[in-house]
């Protein structure tokens, strides 16, 4: 206990020292339920393993959760859900660290009632998601990937009579209007990049009291749909905004406009979007998220016209995952010394 008290004092002074090896408890156990997405092999669990015994699973099925977590005081999970009934059957559990920003996979209210602390991670992927957002935008407007495929797989360039050609008319993004629905850490990063490209930035968020940087302005969803060349979603899924992008919204967008979603698939009515794409109501979509992941065979967006889909990997650059790993270690370490951080169920 003396070692813990010393560490607590040092942390209170702002000195983030590692716990001494003498405190590497033989009784505390960390169970990592779905570690593969965070660390497919290019990172290290070493700093977590220094804190307590770690049992690391790449993936965990719902029927495996209780057995694997039975002796764990600490659980790390990304997408593996822990329901109220599960939490009640894990009497040793004291702390859950969600390896993501969203924590809807945990019944946080019941966890609080059971004195289980729940923490999350925020801000680790802002840069990588913003980067991916523009990768999707630029593919629609510049078509680098499509032209590469045409040249390398279809021998398209060799068959051309001219030194240069385009599969279809391409456009600058400079001077275009981009509408951002949500203006948190990711949305604000996207806005900065958009301005660097010379775009006009419209913002829609619930709180419009804060002053925006020069060159940006608030706009209603109706104004965005009618005026923007690109609409990009950067808001959390709260339940009441399910299918906020629906048939009516899509029909009010410009026919030349593009929808980007790197947020949550549930924000979009996928059948309505597929119809809008296939019928030319909008020009394209770039999606990193779907309502079901992985998608089922009946997903209406797989194969839809001018629809680019990536497998929910905007967040997962090496640098972003390293930041996430660091946050996980700090979450666990802080909990162990009695000063939990990033707590979502206070």
Helix (H) or strand (E) holding 118: strand 117-119
Tally Cβ neighbours within 10 Å of residue 128.
22
Task: Read off the DSSP letter of residue 314.
Answer: T
Q: Is 264 marked active-site?
A: yes
Select which of 264, 321, 323, 333 is catalytic: 264
| 3-state class percentages of the chain: helix first, strand second, coil last, to nearest 5 | 35, 15, 50
Distances (CA, A) of 262 to 40, 90, 112, 238, 345: 22, 34, 30, 15, 26
- What is the torsional sign of CA 248, 303, 240, 226? negative
Select which of 132, 150, 234, 312 is catalytic: 312
Select which of 49, 113, 222, 293 is catalytic: 293
Q: Which residue has the tokens 């020069």?
A: 214
28: nearest Cα among 1, 6, 49, 59: 49
Q: Which residue has the tokens 């009579």?
A: 161
Euclidean distance between CA atoms 246 and 101, whole angstroms = 26
Q: Is 293 marked active-site?
A: yes
Task: Read off the DSSP letter of residue 25.
Answer: E
Give catalytic residues, as residue numbers.
264, 293, 312
């Amino acid at each position: 206990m003396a070692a813990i008290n010393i560490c607590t004092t040092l942390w209170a002074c702002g000195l983030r020292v590692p716990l001494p090896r003498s405190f590497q408890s033989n009784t505390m156990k960390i169970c990592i339920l779905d570690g593969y997405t965070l660390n497919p092999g290019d990172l290290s669990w070493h700093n977590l393993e220094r804190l307590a015994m770690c049992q690391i699973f790449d993936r965990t099925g719902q029927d495996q959760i209780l057995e694997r977590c039975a002796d764990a005081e600490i659980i790390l999970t990304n997408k593996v859900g822990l329901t109220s009934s599960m939490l009640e059957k894990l009497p040793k559990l004291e702390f859950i660290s969600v390896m993501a920003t969203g924590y809807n996979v945990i019944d946080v209210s019941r966890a609080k009632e059971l004195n289980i602390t729940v923490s999350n991670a925020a801000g680790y992927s802002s840069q990588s998601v913003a980067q991916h957002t523009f990768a999707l935008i630029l593919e629609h407007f510049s078509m680098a990937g499509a032209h590469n495929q045409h040249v390398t797989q279809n021998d398209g360039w060799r068959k051309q009579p001219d030194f240069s050609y385009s599969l279809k008319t391409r456009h600058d993004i400079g001077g275009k209007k981009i509408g951002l629905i949500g203006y948190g850490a990711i949305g604000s990063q996207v806005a900065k990049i958009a301005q660097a490209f010379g775009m006009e930035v419209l913002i829609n968020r619930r709180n419009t009291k804060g002053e925006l940087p020069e060159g940006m302005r608030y706009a209603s969803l109706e104004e965005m749909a009618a005026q923007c060349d690109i609409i990009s979603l950067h808001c959390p899924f709260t339940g009441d905004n399910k299918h906020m992008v629906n048939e009516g919204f899509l029909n009010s967008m410009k026919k030349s406009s593009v929808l980007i979603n790197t947020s949550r698939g549930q924000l979009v009515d996928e059948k309505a979007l597929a119809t809008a794409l296939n019928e030319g109501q909008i020009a394209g979509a770039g999606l990193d998220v779907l309502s079901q992941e992985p998608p089922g065979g009946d997903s209406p967006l797989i194969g839809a016209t001018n629809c680019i889909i990536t497998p929910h990997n905007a967040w997962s650059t090496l640098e972003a995952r390293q930041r996430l790993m660091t946050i996980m270690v700090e979450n666990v370490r802080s909990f162990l010394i009695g000063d939990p951080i990033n707590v979502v169920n206070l």
